């Protein structure tokens, strides 16, 4: 008796029940007796799982506690059928309302009539296991979702193992593959230094090492290289990941290609710098122009009075210097202050053909000028004289860069090309030379007034400045692309004019170009 009580307590503690069920013989050979076919004698030892009236009602009490959707699984253990080993899982909801998962493992003794004569088995409370599996499943689903989100993130994400000295990569998302051209199988286990190249600043690389050594977060810009060898400016954010004890376990890396963004920032800084210089130069030029006005007028008066004197030559020198100074001041004012020029809707290819009449004369016999109109019929709003002056200055610079001998190619095309997604387009005019080219620092300063690379006395440094001001006045942009040894391309972008009837083509006469333009063509070189 004591052993039976100990066994019962042990089963109750383990949330297990042992049952021995002897069903009543069926009155109808096709079905079991009773509504559910559960009539019979039941002995139950162990926990009752909260089921009421189990001792008096037997399996009917258990069946009433089984959830409706699990009833077939429960009855499958006790119905007539083939096989002696049976099992199944079902849920019960007894009087306390809590749902309990039970697993039944039974052995059936079959009678001669093919119906169960005796069923012996156990019921296990597997609710805790289900809850653990559900939590595990939720955790796995959350992890899978998190990994899917990280993998689809438009920012390049990498994770490096912080426990190893070389910080090898242990994760890289798809955006990293798109950004760098490297597949994950090519980079996992390697340090990110494979992205470095010839133009990667060693000082920046040292700053990364110091950041990692200190275990702190940092944002760094550096030049990296894709698998195909193309360079891009990478904005790298490094963030350490620590465990509960504070030890560094990993480093999170966020990478973004900011090459275009950096170009826009540089262009905006250059624009602001040039505009600030223009405002300053405009004020100075205005004051100097006011002072030169009486000098010019009085010198001309003195020349008229002393036309036959020996001092006439001195007065001519004074007048020529004053007129030259006034031309320079005029250039400064053209750069700093938009003039009152009359813009017209003109076809860009007509403008180019007209301007080339003067350009070919101005650059000299040693320069061959080629015109390549790839996209004609693009109308722009421009002043003929201003446009011609821009082209003269650009071609003059190109001729000087080639020491008076070479080929200048002028190309007209639509920008962006036909079929591009942008709703607007511009006429893009490229002036390409085969000269010595300029380094990056020179290009950055090329539009500054009075900046020139020519020897003292051979240039005023205003040619590109004037061109810049005139193009801006026409609502366009001017861009320089140059490198030592490969020449220079000066690109002028003028926005396409609204649809209306274009003005008739008129070829300007050479005398319509002010004399000071010739000064720039022959003497200005940045």
Whether residue 197 sits in one domain with residue 115: no
Averaged over 439-465, what is the pLDDT? 67
Whether 145 maps to a domain, the answer reads no
Q: Comparing 124-133, 139-148, 324-333, 511-520, which segment has the lowest mean pLDDT?
A: 511-520
Whether the Cβ atoms of residue 333 and residue 462 lie closer than 8 Å to each other: no
Nearest Cα to 469, choosing from 317, 331, 328? 331
Whether 136 maps to a domain, the answer reads no
More confident: 15 or 225? 225
> Measuring CA to CA, how many Å separate 194 from each of 182, 373, 391?
10, 44, 45
More confident: 501 or 301? 301
Whether residue 174 sits in one domain with residue 95: no
Whether residue 450 sits in one domain with residue 313: no
Whether 135 maps to a domain, the answer reads no
Whether the Cβ atoms of residue 410 and residue 372 lie closer than 8 Å to each other: yes
More confident: 78 or 124? 124
Indicate the residue among 201, 232, 257 that finishes a domain: 257
**Neighbour order of strands in the sheet with 85-92:** 40-46, 16-23, 116-125, 100-110, 85-92
Whether residue 273 sits in one domain with residue 223: no
Whether residue 376 sits in one domain with residue 519: yes
Whether residue 366 sits in one domain with residue 484: yes
Q: What rounded mean pLDDT belongs to the chain? A: 78
The CA radius of gyration of the chain, in Å to the nearest whole number, is: 45
Give the angle subtended at the CA of 22 by the CAs of 18 and 24, to the nearest 5°. 150
Report d(CA 279, CA 256) in Å as an integer. Answer: 37
Averaged over 335-362, what is the pLDDT? 78
What range does the domain containing 305 cover? 262-336
CATH number of the domain at 494, please: 3.30.565.10
Q: SS3 for 454-466, per residue?
A: CCCCCCCCCHHHH
pLDDT, residue 257, reads 92
* Whether the predicted pLDDT of 428 surpasses 90: yes
Whether residue 384 sits in one domain with residue 456: yes
Banded pLDDT at 436 (limits 50, 70, 90): confident
Indicate the residue among 193, 226, 257 that finishes a domain: 257
Nearest Cα to 446, choosing from 265, 283, 267, 288? 267
Banded pLDDT at 27 (limits 50, 70, 90): low
Whether residue 440 sits in one domain with residue 356: yes
More confident: 167 or 78? 167
Banded pLDDT at 504 (limits 50, 70, 90): very low
* Whether the predicted pLDDT of 157 surpasses 50: yes
Whether 466 maps to a domain, the answer reads yes
Whether residue 162 sits in one domain with residue 92: no
Whether 496 maps to a domain, the answer reads yes
For 266-274, which contacts have Cβ atoms below 8 Å and span 24 or more sequence positions?
266/444, 270/444, 270/447, 273/448, 274/447, 274/448, 274/465, 274/468
pLDDT, residue 480, reads 87
Residue 413 backbone class (left: φ over 0; alpha: ψ -120 to 50; beta: rest)? beta
pLDDT, residue 512, reads 35
Q: pLDDT tens for residues 229-249?
A: 999 999 999 999 888 888 888
The count of structural domains within the chain is 4
Q: pLDDT tens for residues 106-150?
A: 888 877 776 778 888 888 888 888 887 777 777 667 777 777 777
pLDDT, residue 333, reads 64
pLDDT, residue 507, reads 41
Whether residue 472 sits in one domain with residue 379: yes
Kindly report the number of other CB atoms within 10 A of residue 24's CB atom: 14
Q: Comparing 30-39, 155-164, 487-496, which segment has the lowest mean pLDDT?
A: 30-39
Indicate the residue among 257, 276, 296 that finishes a domain: 257
Whether residue 282 sits in one domain with residue 246: no
Banded pLDDT at 32 (limits 50, 70, 90): very low
CATH number of the domain at 211, please: 3.30.450.20
Whether 471 maps to a domain, the answer reads yes
**Neighbour order of strands in the sheet with 367-373:** 367-373, 406-415, 426-432, 488-495, 477-482
Whether the Cβ atoms of residue 415 and residue 493 lie closer than 8 Å to each other: yes
Whether 87 maps to a domain, the answer reads yes
Whether 160 maps to a domain, the answer reads yes
Report d(CA 443, CA 462) in Å as an integer. Answer: 14
Averaged over 214-243, what is the pLDDT? 91
Whether residue 302 sits in one domain with residue 238: no
């Amino acid at each position: 008796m004591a052993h039976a009580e100990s066994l019962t307590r042990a089963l109750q503690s383990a949330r297990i029940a042992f049952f021995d069920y002897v069903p009543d013989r069926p009155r109808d050979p096709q079905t079991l007796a009773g509504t559910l076919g559960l009539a019979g004698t039941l002995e139950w030892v162990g926990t009752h799982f909260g089921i009421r009236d189990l001792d008096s009602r037997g399996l009917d009490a258990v069946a009433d506690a089984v959830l409706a959707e699990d009833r077939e699984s429960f009855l499958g253990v006790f119905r007539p059928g083939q096989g002696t080993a049976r099992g199944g899982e079902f849920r019960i909801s007894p009087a306390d309302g809590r749902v309990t998962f039970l697993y039944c493992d039974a052995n059936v003794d079959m009678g001669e009539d093919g119906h169960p004569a005796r069923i012996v088995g156990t019921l296990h409370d597997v609710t805790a296991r289900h809850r653990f599996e559900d939590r595990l499943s939720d955790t796995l689903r959350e992890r899978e979702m998190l990994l899917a989100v990280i993998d689809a993130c438009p920012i390049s994400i990498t994770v490096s193992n912080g426990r190893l000295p070389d910080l090898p990569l242990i994760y890289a998302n798809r955006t990293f593959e798109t950004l760098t051209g490297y597949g994950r199988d090519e980079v996992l286990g390697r340090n990110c230094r494979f992205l470095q190249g010839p133009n990667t600043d060693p000082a920046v690389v040292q700053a990364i090492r110091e950041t990692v050594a200190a275990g702190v977060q940092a944002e760094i810009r550096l030049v990296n290289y894709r698998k195909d060898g193309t360079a891009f400016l990478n904005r790298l954010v490094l963030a350490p990941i620590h465990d509960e004890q504070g030890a560094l376990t990993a480093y999170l890396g966020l990478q973004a290609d900011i090459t275009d963004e950096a170009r826009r920032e540089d262009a905006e800084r250059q624009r602001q710098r040039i505009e600030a210089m223009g405002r300053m130069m405009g004020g100075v030029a205005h004051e100097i122009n006011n002072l030169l006005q009486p000098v010019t007028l009085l010198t001309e008066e003195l020349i008229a009075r002393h036309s036959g004197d020996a001092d006439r030559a001195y007065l001519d020198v004074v007048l020529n210097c004053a007129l030259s100074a006034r031309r320079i001041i005029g250039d400064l004012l053209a750069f700093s202050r938009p003039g009152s020029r009359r813009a017209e809707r003109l076809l860009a290819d007509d403008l180019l053909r007209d301007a080339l009449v003067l350009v070919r004369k101005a650059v000299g016999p040693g320069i061959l000028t080629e015109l390549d109109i790839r996209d004609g019929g693009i109308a722009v709003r421009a002043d003929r004289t201003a446009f011609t002056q821009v082209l003269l200055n650009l071609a003059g610079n190109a001729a000087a860069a080639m020491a008076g001998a070479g080929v200048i190619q002028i190309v007209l095309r639509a920008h962006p090309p036909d079929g591009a997604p942008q709703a607007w387009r511009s006429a893009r005019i490229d002036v390409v030379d085969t000269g010595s080219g300029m380094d990056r620092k020179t290009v950055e300063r090329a539009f500054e007034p009075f900046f020139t690379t020519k020897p003292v006395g051979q240039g005023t440094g205003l040619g590109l400045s004037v061109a810049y001001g005139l193009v801006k006045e026409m609502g366009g942009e001017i861009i320089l692309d140059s490198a030592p040894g490969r020449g220079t391309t000066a690109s002028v972008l003028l926005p396409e004019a609204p649809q209306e009837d274009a003005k008739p083509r008129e070829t300007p006469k050479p005398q319509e170009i002010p004399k000071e333009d010739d000064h720039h063509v022959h003497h200005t070189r940045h």
